[in-house]
């Protein structure tokens, strides 16, 4: 079963990477973009999706500084 | 007494750490794949990029076989000293509070900084005085120390903030200018600056030697008691 884990910096934690992206946008003509946050996407193939949360807490995310969201695909599209 | 310096794949400061330790006591290298700490009194987790620092700095190294033994050593009151990447590994392992984030400026930094000893009543700093200023280099990409406010309050109350960057020297945006912290029992400490690169007059400062000397004397005193 395919799953995706989205990991992002916790709210309130300064994200200099997001800021750098945000600052680059106006020069390219993309005005009106704010609150850019850069995170990570981890794709997984799992046999037992019930353990993904535990796996995230133990390794994929550091929950002191990051939040994560799990998406499990019900149907695998080719 | 004896220091043991752990070598991970991707470590790069283990030889400097080993040589710094050997100025004050016996020291030998420990291998990340071993669970045997070879009877050392102080475990040093050195700087570098353990396991490539994939995912997050220090995140993978904490699961290496040697870290199980380091956890046990720390739980039994044994001394553990993490420098730079070692600090990151100890935070990820939960042996120290907080986390290290990418530098505010997003750049790799390599420069001499001044840090102030906040708590001189620890095995790592008893050879110095509170308020004493040490000149030591930093060289890192992810050195921005972070802990939530509530945790910081507790750390402060328990004397766990050991080193702070002096005004104007915070290179990375660390909260409360924190450069080094300890656990509540004060037997585990981590810091971003590199004391092992400041032990020889040739490199400009010998202030880093204070920390290794403090550890060596502390462990000797324990053994004699």
Read off the pLDDT of residues B98-130 as tens digits, 9 standing for 90 and up. 999 999 999 999 999 999 999 999 999 999 999
Instruction: Select which of B196, B197, B213, B218 is catalytic.
Output: B196
Instruction: Select which of B32, B73, B194, B218 is catalytic.
Output: B194
Q: Name the residue of chain B whose CA is nearest to A7's CA.
A: B55
- Helices assigned H by DSSP within B52-142: 65-75, 85-92
CA distance B180 to B170: 12
What's the pLDDT tens digit per position in B147-162? 999 999 999 999 999 9
* C-beta of residue B189 within 8 angstroms of C-beta of residue B124: yes
Q: CB under 8 Å to A52, separation ≥6 — which residues? A: A3, A5, A44, A46, A70, A72
Residue A32 DSSP one-character state: S
Q: Max CA-CA distance within chain A?
A: 46
ipTM of the complex: 0.86
CA distance B16 to B48: 11
pLDDT bin (cut points 50, 70, 90) of residue B223 is confident
Q: CB under 8 Å to A23, separation ≥6 — which residues? A: none
Known catalytic residue: B140? no
Residue B125 DSSP one-character state: T
What are residue B222's phi and psi, to 5 degrees?
A: -65, -45
Of B93, B130, B123, the closest CA to residue B216 belongs to B123
């Amino acid at each position: 079963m395919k799953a995706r884990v989205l990991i992002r910096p916790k709210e309130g934690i300064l994200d200099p990477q997001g800021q750098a992206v945000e600052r680059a946008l106006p020069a390219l003509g993309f005005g009106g973009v704010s609150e850019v946050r850069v995170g990570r996407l981890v794709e997984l193939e799992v046999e037992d999706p019930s353990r993904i949360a535990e796996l995230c807490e133990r390794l994929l995310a550091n929950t002191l500084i990051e939040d994560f969201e799990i998406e499990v695909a019900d149907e695998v599209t080719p | 007494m004896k220091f043991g310096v752990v070598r991970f794949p991707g470590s790069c400061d283990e030889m400097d750490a080993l040589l710094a330790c050997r100025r004050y006591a016996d020291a030998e290298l420990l291998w990340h794949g071993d669970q045997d700490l070879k009877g050392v009194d102080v475990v040093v987790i050195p700087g570098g990029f353990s396991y490539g620092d994939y995912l997050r700095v220090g995140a993978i190294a904490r699961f290496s076989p040697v870290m199980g033994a380091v956890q046990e050593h720390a739980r039994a009151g044994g001394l553990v000293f993490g420098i730079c990447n070692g600090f990151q590994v100890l935070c990820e392992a939960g042996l120290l509070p907080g986390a290290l984030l990418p530098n505010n400026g997003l750049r790799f930094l390599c420069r001499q900084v001044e840090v102030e000893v906040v708590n001189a009543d620890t095995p790592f700093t008893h050879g110095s005085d509170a308020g004493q200023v040490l000149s030591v280099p930093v060289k890192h990409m992810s050195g921005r120390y972070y802990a939530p406010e509530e945790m910081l309050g507790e750390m402060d109350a328990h004397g766990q903030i050991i080193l702070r960057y002096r005004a104007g020297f915070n290179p990375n945006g660390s909260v409360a200018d924190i450069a080094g912290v300890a656990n509540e029992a004060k037997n585990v400490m981590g810091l971003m600056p590199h004391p092992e690169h400041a032990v020889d007059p040739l490199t400009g400062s010998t202030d880093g030697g204070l920390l290794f000397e403090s550890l060596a004397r502390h462990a000797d005193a324990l053994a004699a008691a």
